[in-house]
Structure 1
C-alpha cells in the first residue's frame, strides 16, 4: 500500500511538472507572439507616417 501511495504521489508530481512546463512554454510563445504583433503595428505606423508626404 505504501508503494501505491508513492506511485500516486510521483505521478501527480510528474503531471504537475508537465503542466507547468506546458504553461511556461505557452507563456513564452504568447509573449513572442505579442512582441511580434506590437513590432508589426509600430512598423506599419512608421511606414504610413513616412509615406504620408505630399501626394
Structure 2
C-alpha cells in the first residue's frame, strides 16, 4: 500500500497523513498487508512506538 493508497483509504490528503505522524495506528490484517501498511506509515513519519499490529493467520 502506497502513501497515496493509504490516504485514499483514510479519505484524507497526503498532507493530513503527514500531520497524523504523532497519532497512534493500529494495523490489522494478513501479515504481508500489515507489513506493507506499516512500511508506508513509517515512511509518512510515524514512530514505531505509535504503530501497533495484529497479524492474522488462517
TM-score (normalised: structure 1): 0.29
**Larger relative contact order, structure 1 or 2 (CA cutoff 8 Å, min sep 6):** 2
More helix per residue:
1
TM-score (normalised: structure 2): 0.28
